[in-house]
Amino acid sequence: MELLNVGLLFKLAGIGILIMVFTQVLNQAEKKEQAQLLTLAGVVVVMIVIVKLIGDLFNSVRSIFNLY
Amino acid sequence: MSIMQIVALAVVAVVLIVIIRQERPELALQLSMVAGLIITVFVVWKLAGIVKVLERLALRADLNMVFLGALLKIIGIAYIAEFGTQVCRDAGENALAIKVELAGKVTILILAVPIISTIVSTVERLLP
């Protein structure tokens, strides 16, 4: 269970670093709006993964502590 | 096995977060949330066994299951409220963190009311 998620963490870190680099490049190329759009896209992608993980956490807590 | 993996995961995640925080603080926050979620899900699954042992002990001591159920619910609510509060504090939103904590406390209080009333009625019966 642990190994699957470590890969996920590295994937998201990769996305973050890539976006960091691309926004720098875009800023140098005088394309500020596209840099901001790219950052927004990155945030949305990571947020999708986070919502899924939060869903998993809440379902497991609900099933274990029979919270309804 | 698991504690070493968890510590290794946390250390690696922290390093990655510090790298990303310089340029994109919002992504760093999300990354720290993901790392926290991974560890919490892993730990909560370990708790399942402990909860089963508690239930078996309660059955053997023929305790009223309502109390144990309420107790487990309170612990579950505490975990989730704590998670939300810490995420808000990480992002620097202390006001929001306090509101989430307040909501958690009120929810727990609502669950604790039947237990309190039972205790009070028991004490009344004991007194002459």
> What's the total number of domains in chain B?
2
Cβ-defined contact of A1 to B45 (cutoff 8 Å): yes
Residue B55 lies in a domain: no
Query: What mean pLDDT value characterizes chain B?
Result: 90
In the prediction, which pLDDT does B23 show?
Answer: 84
Quick one: B77 and B125 in the same domain? Answer: yes
Quick one: B41 and B78 in the same domain? Answer: no
Cα–Cα dist B117/B128, whole Å = 19
pLDDT tens-digit series, residues B88-108: 999 999 999 999 999 999 999
Q: Say whether residue B15 is in contact with chain A using an 8 A CB cutoff.
A: no
Provide the residue range defining the domain that includes B20: 1-49
Q: Which residue of A has its CA nearest to B33?
A: A50
| Nearest Cα residue to A38 out of B70, B27, B38 | B27
CB pairs under 8 A between A and B: 109
Residue B76 lies in a domain: yes
Cα–Cα dist A33/A26, whole Å = 9
- Output B51-54 pairs: Cβ under 8 A, ≥24 positions apart: B51/A64, B51/A65
This prediction has a pTM of: 0.83
ipTM value for the complex? 0.85
Cα–Cα dist A28/A44, whole Å = 24
pLDDT tens-digit series, residues B41-72: 888 888 888 888 988 888 888 877 888 888 88
Q: Which of B12, B28, B40 has its CB closest to that of A57?
A: B40
| Nearest Cα residue to B33 out of A48, A32, A66, A38 | A48
Residue B80 lies in a domain: yes
Residue B3 lies in a domain: yes
Angle between helix B94-126 and helix B65-90 axes, rounded to 10 deg: 160
